[in-house]
Amino acid sequence: MSPGILGKKIGMTQLFNSDGTAVPVTLVKAGPCVVTQRKTPATDGYDAVQLGLVEFGKKQNKPDAGHLKKSGAEGVRFLREFHLGQGTGDLKQGDRVLAEEFKPKDVVDVIGTSKGRGFAGLVKRHHFRGGPATHGSMFHRAAGSIGASSFPSRVFPGMKMAGRMGSEQVTVRNLEVVSVDTEDNVIALKGAVPGPNGGYVMVRRAKR
């Protein structure tokens, strides 16, 4: 049993249960993946497996091509590691991991990169309330006070201010696998998945 799989987010849709209720799902093109490296406590100090998402037509530089040549993996670009625990099986270099590793009702964690929003203000970035909108108020979406003047005469680190928003790693826990299409390697996950359509994601078995 594989500890996880790599894939690309296709987009959101909805499926219907037998009683007619609509279930919002996110479709993920999961795999095919290849085990490109097997790390062991004896050689690396920890037990993990490195998976690569097979995507033909992607160019590779010489270091990556040399690394992937050992496992016989061609067309691999997206590489990520999964730690191995009890019951995850003994994967070897060159083994293939497909969407059929997962079954409906399985619970997984999805790791992706959130959408980049660019430079954002306090209201959008930190959900500040803002000031009055009428009666001559000139304080609408401004930051307000960020610290005292006489003491400590500086701004404390971590102060919530305007700045770059998004493009950060986000983990969504405990998503249920609704259905699995083994022919096209597509997994339907209940709920939303971080990142834009076409973004790379890691689907790992739930840890909690």
Looking at the chain, the domain(s) classified CATH 2.40.30.10 span: 4-116+170-205
Q: Contact at 8 Å (CB) between 178 and 103?
A: no
Q: State both tokens at 25.
A: 């799902």
pLDDT at 86: 65
**Percentage, residues of the chain above pLDDT 70:** 94
CATH class of 4-116+170-205: mainly beta
pLDDT at 88: 59
* pLDDT of 92 above 90: no
pLDDT at 10: 94
Burial class of residue 162 (count of CB atoms within 10 Å of its CB; 0-12, 13-18, 19+)? middle
Find the helix or strand (DSSP H, E) in which 170 lies: strand 169-181
Q: What angle do CA 67, 92, 184 make, to 5 degrees?
A: 85
Return all residues near 181 (Cβ < 8 A) that are at least 6 apart: 99, 187, 188
101-116: per-residue pLDDT in tens? Answer: 889 899 999 999 999 9
Question: CA–CA distance from 31 to each of 27, 44, 51, 91, 169 (Å)?
Answer: 13, 26, 10, 16, 20
Task: Pick 90 or 10 by higher pLDDT.
Answer: 10
Helix (H, G, I), strand (E, B) or coil at 4: strand
Q: How confident is the model at residue 87 (pLDDT cuts 50, 70, 90)?
A: low
Q: Taking the model in full, what pTM does it have?
A: 0.81
- Mean residue pLDDT of the chain comes to 87
pLDDT at 120: 95
Q: Contact at 8 Å (CB) between 193 and 172?
A: yes
